[in-house]
Structure 1
């Protein structure tokens, strides 16, 4: 076959393909709202017509015999029919997969669980792409479910916080009001006795307001640390000494143990508040005569570990995961004191130092561990 003949054959095939492709695109545009199966069959039909049309045009110019041309049309018809059937089957399979994915998306929108590939009831998809998309939908559903659960916990915690704060604010306010009315009516024989009580109630209110302000700074990200080298022994011993009279009033054995030459880069005021909140939490829930041990040690990675251990009977296992939630209180005697803000503030301050605070039960009590990052050095 000469070059000229090849060029003629190619031009004829190209002309037929262009015409058929243009007509096929026009038909697809007109049928854009029809079923995916119909559109896929139309694409297959366009390909068949393009091939058959090109071959017919070339065969006519090459004067192929009618018998041979009839054989060609027969073969083309059978091949075209099989191609259309395969296109229909593939289209139905893809439509089925898309319906499964749409159903999964609808369940996702309603907040229902989406079946994963490991579930027995999960549909089997025809292509890797659809399987990957279904897996991503299932993973997204799991993340959304976790997010909704977390949101519900936060909302419950917020309601509990408001309820407890309202209760705790009402108590000292009622006391101050009652004492003020008694003084105003002249019903008190010794007014001087009321002044310290009123000051104590005001101090209590001021402490709760300070806790709320501190917690709001933590949650809003406006807590700014003034970092400087802090000798942990000095900081903890001062805190232990400050809470000594409170511990002695309950006959508690509050003591310091551990290393004495450890220094960390931290905010001394905020870190002192962390230790103070943990010690006060232990004092509030420890029975009379029990020990409270505050210790500090250097971790294997060079960081610092501050521990506060008591003998207050421990925390129920189902409550351990919630002790750091703001406003949460357990029904057991061993629950955070005050308005339930102390431990939430501890967690926020430690997180601002890029550290971590954890709690675990020990024999006869529990231990809070403050893990500070690798900034500790021996001096």
Structure 2
């Protein structure tokens, strides 16, 4: 293939058109296959990283231009051809790194947006589930209170002993509702980021002792043994009321899911710069597919995890572990759950006070 003659400005327009008609088929014949190859590569790499696709997309037109220039020149390297090739090379050196950086930025943003949408959908699903759970749990004690109040008002119950029994049951249901409202308020503060902690040096010995003392009557009614051991009594930087709520929620959860004559063991220790609090129950274990969900709002798991509670044992609203997780993370700590021995172990790690 020979290079077309250089067109001078003085040549007639017809001669220029003839040269163009001679050049265009050659350029078309060389650029189209290169472009088609680029399109084929983009199709084959459609499931690869965005950076790879952008690089191919940038290189395809540059390679097509170079192929067309080389074909039109007949591979006769002169000053003009060398200059054009150097320009194409410079464009490639600038655009390819730009495409790589831009591709990474777009990929990160796409991943972030996808994760944000997933988090939003998960949060919305969690809110709907929470509303369903709470609506169900609120209806039960409210219906009982209403029925007993109507019975007292209508004089259906008249004996002093029966009246006192109804009053005690109304009081118990009222306390249960109050606890649920407190849990919802605490959870709303955590999820809204409105939780403000007043940090100080807190001995975990006092926190655990108070929590066990408060839960002892519940454990005695269910005939569950409470055991506390300590390798050390660490002092952490935290807020006493919130840490007390974490321990109380974990111990209460362990008692609820431990069968009669079972044992709930609380252990304290130190691991590096962290205080370690472990609560072991006798629930029989949690299915592996549910372990990652035990801290979700309103998640209760399957019936296989725990024995069915007796009629006088209120079932939790599924908020205790979610609240515990939020409070622990607010203290820059970490809480995990895994099967251990005859049941499950909930382990809390909190930074030690300096």
TM class by shorter-chain length?
Answer: 0.7 to 0.9
1:182 corresponds to 2:151: yes
Take 2:38 and 2:216, find their aligned partners in 1: how far apart are those partners?
74
TM-score by length of 1: 0.68
Structure 1 pair 177–126 and aligned structure 2 pair: CA distance change class (3 A):
closer
SS at match of 1:222: coil
SS class of match (1:52): coil
Match of 1:171 among 128, 135, 140: 140
Which runs of 5 or more residues in structure 1 are unaligned?
1-47, 61-69, 105-113
Residue 220 of structure 1 is aligned with which of 189, 192, 205? Answer: 192
Question: Which stretch of structure 1 is more off in the superposition, 263-272 or 185-194?
Answer: 185-194
Verify the 8 A CA contact 1:254 1:292 in the aligned structure 2. Answer: yes
Alignment match of 1:238 (pick from 193, 206, 210): 210
Measured in 2, the distance between the counterparts of 1:269 and 1:352 equals 13
Q: Please state whether the residue corresponding to 1:278 is helix, strand or coil.
A: helix
Q: Distance in 1 between matches of 2:269 and 2:6?
A: 85
> Which residue matches 1:6?
none
Q: Which residue in 2 is equivalent to 1:351?
A: 329
Question: What's the offset of the Cα at 1:75?
Answer: 11
8 A Cα contact 1:285 1:333, kept in partner: no
Provide the C-alpha distance between the structure 2 equivalents of 1:342 and 1:201, rounded to a whole number of angstroms. 18
| Structure 2 CA distance for aligned equivalents of residues 95 and 371 of structure 1 | 54
Secondary structure of 2:201's counterpart equals strand
Corresponding residue of 1:283: 255
| 1:360 partnered with 2:332 | no
Q: Which residue does the alignment assign to 2:350?
A: 372
Instruction: Provide the residue aligned with 1:116 in structure 2.
Output: 48
1: distance between equivalents of 2:303 and 2:126? 17
Could you say if the C-alpha distance between residues 95 and 195 of structure 1 is closer, same or farther in structure 2, counting changes exceeding 3 Å?
A: same
Q: Is the 8 A contact 1:232 1:264 kept in 2?
A: yes
| Counterpart among 279, 283, 298 of residue 308 in structure 1 | 279
**TM-score, normalization: structure 2?**
0.72
Q: How does 1:30-49 map to 2 (within 5 A)?
A: none
After superposition, residues 253-332 of structure 1 pair within 5 angstroms as 253-300=225-272, 302-332=273-303
3-state SS, counterpart of residue 267 of structure 2: strand
Secondary structure at 1:195 match in 2: helix
Residue 318 of structure 1, CA deviation? 0.7
What is the aligned residue count? 298
Q: Which residue of 2 aligns with 1:28?
A: none
Instruction: Give the alignment's Cα RMSD to 1 decimal.
Output: 3.8
Is the deviation greater in 130-139 or in 150-159?
A: 130-139
Any gaps of 5 or more consecutive residues in structure 2? 60-95, 307-313
CA 225–75 in structure 1, closer or farther in 2 if over 3 Å, else same: same
C-alpha separation in 1, matches of 2:304 and 2:184: 23
Q: 1:353·1:372 contact (CA, 8 Å) conserved in 2? A: yes
**How far is the alpha carbon of 1:124 from its aligned partner?**
10
CA drift of 1:182 comes to: 1.0
State the 1:175 CA deviation.
1.1
Secondary structure of 2:285 counterpart: coil
Question: 1:339-378: per-residue Cα shift (whole Å, max 9, x none)?
Answer: 11111101111111111110000121110011113x345x
Secondary structure, in 3 states, of the residue corresponding to 2:177?
helix
SS of 1:245 mapped into structure 2 = helix
Corresponding residue of 2:222: 250
Among 192, 202, 207, the alignment partner of 2:179 is 207
Separation (CA, whole Å) in 1 of partners of 2:38 and 2:104: 17
Q: Which residue of 2 aligns with 1:52?
A: 6
Quote the Cα distance in structure 2 between the aligned partners of 1:218 and 1:342. Answer: 13
Shift, 1:115, TM fit: 1.9
Partner of 1:33: none
Higher Cα radius of gyration: 1
Deviations for 1:245-296, whole angstroms, at most 9, x for unmatched residues? Answer: 1111111111111134311110000000001000000000101111111111
